[in-house]
Amino acid sequence: MSDKPHQNLAVIGHVDHGKSTLVGRLLYETENVPEHVIEQYKEEAEEKGKGGFEFAYVMDNLAEERERGVTIDIAHQEFDTDEYYFTIVDCPGHRDFVKNMITGASQADNAVLVVAADDGVQPQTQEHVFLARTLGIGEMIVAVNKMDLTDYEEGRYREVVEEVTQLLKQVRFDVDNTKFIPVSAFEGDNVAERSGNLSWFDGDVLLEALNNLPESEPPTDAPLRVPIQDVYTISGIGTVPVGRIETGVMTPGNDVTFQPSDVGGEVKTVEMHHEEVDSAGPGDNIGFNVRGIGKDDIRRGDVCGPVDQSPTVAETFQAQVVVMQHPSVITAGYTPVFHAHTAQVACTIESIDQKIDAASGEVAEENPDFIQSGDAAVVTVRPQKPLSIEPANEIPELGSFAIRDMGQTIAAGKVLSVDER
């Protein structure tokens, strides 16, 4: 393991804008992926009629991803720079897989937003930026990619920068700290090294910008919380839930419980990067084994925490939401799917308690009949199935969510208070 501070970095943006290619290129240029592997991927991609996807294949490991040339699920990759030990989370851009992007973004401290120079801001550029903001991404690096397709022209770059700046301002992202970089992931311009093709640009190249990210906030002293992302059965060990530690520390011997499945036991082993460790902390992606827990006892969306400070399971919760887009209006009784950490649960908006003026944060109307696109509101929510979620002021990492319906993100928000089951 590295002694450097850890960063979880999400790579987000519209489908086909080159996220996986950029990550693959970065890993290749920093010698984390050997040349012969890229050669091999190049052959494989060409055989599949997907020439040009060799760098994307570094991150796209599923057979279906390689056949279709799209990322479907998030993929993690460890990577070292001079300053940081990174876990890169490559997110899918396709609109059908935004739910996986939400899981990825909720695990990240900062993000790289990839926008193709020839295509500019597109629907999932918007959706991802909105989600990144609401799910608590700290800083954004904007990679204006595929500069080779626009003849490395500064003029086109400036147009895209302006478009993205407007978008970031709309969702109140702190644009002052946002770095914009013209790159070509495919050609390798301005990724790890400065490119002569973009000599008009004198800012940080991507690798420098990554090194210059601020250190992530010191972990809160909140109790252990590990949202479960997957549950595996591994021979010789048994059931191995995996997930990222959001808060707290896990050590073998801990007495833990999984909520809402409501089972628990003693932690036997904790693994990171396939090696057993004595303890793991916030930001660490772990696999662990708990005495007496079988594969069918727990599931994605459970949260693991200490028995004596058990993850909160909500009967109802009050939340502040911002409506991003909805074809009509949202009224009490509406039951879309809430995505919180790794959980996806249908929840009913029982009441709309207050409409909030998004600019001032003040109450604009008590008990409004409806809310619509652009509105901010305080609502009371009843999960239709048990859901573990926490007040954002106590455990911010477990206190935010996105609301989806009809294949799109409707709103996102954070939990103000929880009425426990």
Ligand X SMILES: Nc1nc2c(ncn2[C@@H]2O[C@H](COP(=O)(O)OP(=O)(O)OP(=O)(O)O)[C@@H](O)[C@H]2O)c(=O)[nH]1
Contact between 20 and Mg ion by CB under 5 A: the answer reads: yes
Interacting residues with ligand X between 70 and 89 (CB under 6 A):
70-71
At 309, which amino acid appears? Q
Contacted entry of ligand X, Mg ion, none for residue 184, CB cut-off 5 to 8 Å set by kind: ligand X
Q: Which of 6, 17, 133, 339 touches ligand X (CB under 6 A)?
A: 17
User: Kindly report the CA angle at 237 between 233 and 238, in degrees rounded to 5?
Assistant: 40
- Residues in Cβ contact with 48 at an 8 Å cutoff, skipping those fewer than 6 apart: 66, 67
Partner interacting with residue 21 (select from Mg ion, ligand X, none; CB below 5-8 Å by kind)? ligand X
Smallest separation (angstroms) from ligand X to the CB of 137: 17
Is 52 among the residues that bind ligand X (CB under 6 A)? yes
- Residue 167 touches which member of Mg ion, ligand X, none, C-beta under 5-8 Å by kind: none
Residue closer to ligand X (CB basis): 200 or 232:
200
DSSP E strands in 156-291: the ranges are 179-182, 226-234, 238-244, 255-259, 263-272, 275-277, 285-290
Contact 418, 314 (CB under 8 A): yes
Least Cα distance to 127 among 102, 146, 104 occurs for 102
246 binds, among ligand X, Mg ion, none (CB under 5 to 8 A by kind): none
What does the per-residue mask of binding to ligand X show for 184-223, with x meaning CB under 6 A? xxx-------------------------------------
Q: Which of 18, 399 has the CB closer to ligand X?
A: 18
Q: What angle do CA 102, 108, 112 make, to 5 degrees?
A: 90
Query: Whole-angstrom Cα distance, residue 371 to residue 191?
Result: 43
Q: How far is the CB of 213 from Mg ion (least distance, A)?
A: 21
Q: Compute and round to an integer the Cα radius of gyration of the chain.
A: 22
Spell out the alpha helix ranges (H) of 35-153. 35-47, 63-68, 98-106, 123-134
Q: Which two tokens stand for residue 296?
A: 């069918």
Residues pairing with 12 in the sheet: 113
Polymer length of the chain: 421
Output DSSP code: residue 109. Answer: S
Of 6, 19, 156, 414, the residue at the interface with Mg ion (CB under 5 A) is 19
Interaction partner, residue 128 (Mg ion, ligand X, none; CB < 5-8 Å by kind): none
Q: Which does 133 bind (CB under 5 to 8 A by kind): ligand X, Mg ion, none?
A: none
Least distance in Å: CB of 135 to ligand X?
18
- Closer to Mg ion at the Cβ: 52 or 203? 52
Total residues at interface with Mg ion (CB under 5 A): 3
> Which 131-160 positions form the footprint of ligand X (CB under 6 A)?
145-146, 148-149
Give the angle subtended at the CA of 412 by the CAs of 300 and 250, to the nearest 5°.
40
Q: Supply the minimum distance, in Å, between the C-beta of residue 11 and Mg ion.
A: 8
**Which window, 178-186, 250-258, 284-292, 399-407, contacts ligand X (CB under 6 A)?**
178-186
Q: Which of residues 338-357 bind ligand X (CB under 6 A)?
A: none
Half-sphere exposure of 228 (CA within 13 A, CB side): 26
Selection from Mg ion, ligand X, none that 145 binds (CB < 5 to 8 A by kind) is: ligand X
Q: Does 179 sit near Mg ion (CB under 5 A)? A: no
To the nearest whole angstrom, how small is the minimum distance from the Cβ of residue 79 to ligand X?
Answer: 16
Q: Counting contacts by CB under 6 A, is residue 53 touching ligand X? A: yes
Strands (E), 157-250: 179-182, 226-234, 238-244
Q: With 0-12 CB in 10 A as exposed, 13-18 as middle and 19+ as buried, what is 244?
A: buried
What whole-number distance in Å separates Cα of residue 382 and Cα of residue 350? Answer: 6
CA 101 – CA 228 distance, rounded (Å): 16
Which CB sits closer to ligand X, 93 or 383? 93
Q: What are phi and psi of 75, to 5 degrees?
A: -130, 135
* Among the listed residues 19, 66, 133, 339, the single contact to ligand X using CB under 6 A: 19
- Distance of closest approach, residue 225 Cβ to ligand X, in angstroms: 29
Q: Position 269: which residue type?
A: T
Binding letters toward Mg ion, positions 71-90, x by CB under 5 A:
x-------------------
Contacts with Mg ion, residue ranges (CB under 5 A): 19-20, 71
Contacts with ligand X, residue ranges (CB under 6 A): 15-21, 52-53, 56, 70-71, 92-94, 114, 145-146, 148-149, 184-186
